[in-house]
Amino acid sequence: MGSVFGFLFLIAVCVAQREVSIPLSADSFRQILRTAMPVPDGRSATASDIRIIYYGTNITQPSTYRVGSIKRLLSNPNFDVRKPTTFYIHGYVELWNDFSVETVVRAYLKRGGYNILVLDWANFGFGNYIGAGLSVQTVGMETGKALLKLLKGGLSLQGLHIVGHSMGVNVAAIIARYLKSKGVKVPRLTGLDPAYPGFYPALLAVPVSPEDAGFVDIMHTDGGGFGAPASTGHADFWPNHGTAKQPGCLPLTVPLTAEDFCSHWRSWRFWAEAVEGGKFLARRCSDYDTFLRGRCRNAPLVIMGIETDTTLRGNFYLRTAAQEPFALGERGAE
C-alpha cells in the first residue's frame, strides 16, 4: 500500500500536464516496478549499506566501499587525492549501474583528469516515493560523514564538485549542509533537474539553495513536472524553457513510464554531453518568451555545464537539438 500511495502522490502533482498515449518499450515500466521493491536484491535499508563507488580508468572495474569504511579508498593506488573529484548522486529508483549513471561516468572518463565517485543509495531510494524522500536526510548525513573523512585524509576540497540528479540533488544539499556545519564549505554543487514533488514546498526535506555551497548551478528540463518549478541556485539554466516536453521527447506518453521521464532525464544527458565537450551556450534573460523574441541578444554568451563560470548569477536560457548531439553552440543562444 505504501508504494501505491507514494505513486498516487506523484501522479497528483505531475499527471495534470501529462497526456496519455500508447508508445511503449521493453523498459517502459521499469521505474514503476522498482517502487514495489522496498530495497534492491542483496541490499538492506540500513545506513551501513550506503555505498560509494570509485571509478579509476575502467568503467567495468569499479571499487565499492561502504560509507563506514570509506578510509580504505585512500589506500587505493589509483586514487589521487590531488585530482579534482566529482561526486555523482543518482535519483529515485535508480541503480549505480543504470544507463543514466554510466553515461555520466563514461563522459568523465573520456574527459580525463578526475576522481569519479558515485553514491549508491539505492538501498534507501527504492520503494515508495515518500519513504525515499524522507530518507534523504539519513543518506545525506551519513555520506557527509564519509566525505569529511576523505577530506581529512587529504582529498582536495578545492576540487570537490557534487553533482546530483532528481532526488539525488536533495541528498547532495544535505551532504553540503553537513559539511558546512563542520566548517567545510563545498565549492560547487550542481543540480540536474532537482526533484519537485514533496520538496517544493519542503514537505519531505528542505530543497537545495544557494546557501548550500560556494556555487550552486541548476539545470531545469522538466520544471513543474518531475523537476523543480522555480529558480533554486545561484545560476539556473532553462534549456528549451526548462519544461516538458523537451525537443525529441514523445508528445504523448503514459504517465510514469520511461518515456514520460524523457524530459526529466534530459538533464543528465545534457550534462554528460557538456562534460565530453559539447558547447551549450546560453544568455541571461528575464524569461524564455523574451529570450525567443531576441530581446536578450545583447547579453553575454555563457556556458551551461561543467565549464560554467562560477561567478554567474540569475536565470539563463538556451535551445537544444532534438537528438544527440544536443548542443547547438551559439545557435542555441540566438
pLDDT the model gives residue 2: 46
Give the three cell numbers for residue 186.
563545498
3-state secondary structure of 31: helix
φ/ψ of residue 319, rounded to 5: -115, 155
**Cβ pair 179, 152 in contact under 8 A:** no
Determine whether 175 is exposed, middle or buried from the number of CB atoms within 10 Å of its CB (0-12, 13-18, 19+): buried
In the chain, what percentage of residues exceed pLDDT 90? 88
Per-residue pLDDT tens digits for 255-312: 889 999 999 999 999 999 999 999 999 999 999 999 999 999 999 999 999 999 999 9
Q: Tell me if 42 sits within 8 A of 31, measured CB to CB.
A: no
pLDDT value at 99 more than 80:
yes
The one-letter code for the residue type at 245 is K
Residues 221, 270 contacting (CB under 8 angstroms)? yes
CA distance 117 to 115: 7
CA-CA-CA-CA torsion sign (280, 260, 107, 229):
positive
* Residue 119 bridge partners (DSSP): 52, 89
Q: What is the mean pLDDT of residues 322-328?
A: 98
Burial 268-291 (b: 16+ CB within 10 A, else e): bbbbbbbbbebbbbbbbbeebeeb
CB neighbours of residue 202 within 10 Å: 10
pLDDT score for 20: 46
Grid cell, residue 195, equals 526533484
The Cα-based distances of 278 to 24, 71, 131, 254, 270 in angstroms read 30, 35, 37, 31, 8
The closest alpha carbon to 269, from 107, 161, 112, belongs to: 107
CA angle 246, 190, 257 (to 5 degrees): 40
pLDDT single digits (tens) 232-250: 999 999 999 999 999 999 9
For the chain, what are the domain ranges?
2-10+26-333
C-alpha count within 13 angstroms, C-beta hemisphere, residue 291: 25
Among 161, 147, 156, CA closest to 104: 161
Asked if the bond preceding 325 is cis, omega within 30° of 0, the reply is yes
**CA 97 to CA 281: how far, in whole Å?**
30
Rounded Cα gap, residues 246 and 249, in angstroms: 6
pLDDT of residue 22: 57
Tens of pLDDT along 189-219?
999 999 999 999 999 999 999 999 999 999 9
Q: Are 118 and 101 in contact (CB under 8 A)?
A: yes
How do residues 124-172 score in pLDDT, each as one tens digit?
A: 999 999 999 999 999 999 999 999 999 999 999 999 999 999 999 999 9
Stated length of the chain? 334
The architecture (CATH level 2) of 2-10+26-333 comes to 3-Layer(aba) Sandwich (3.40)
- Say whether pTM exceeds 0.85: yes
State the distance between the two ends of the chain, measured CA to CA, in whole angstroms: 49
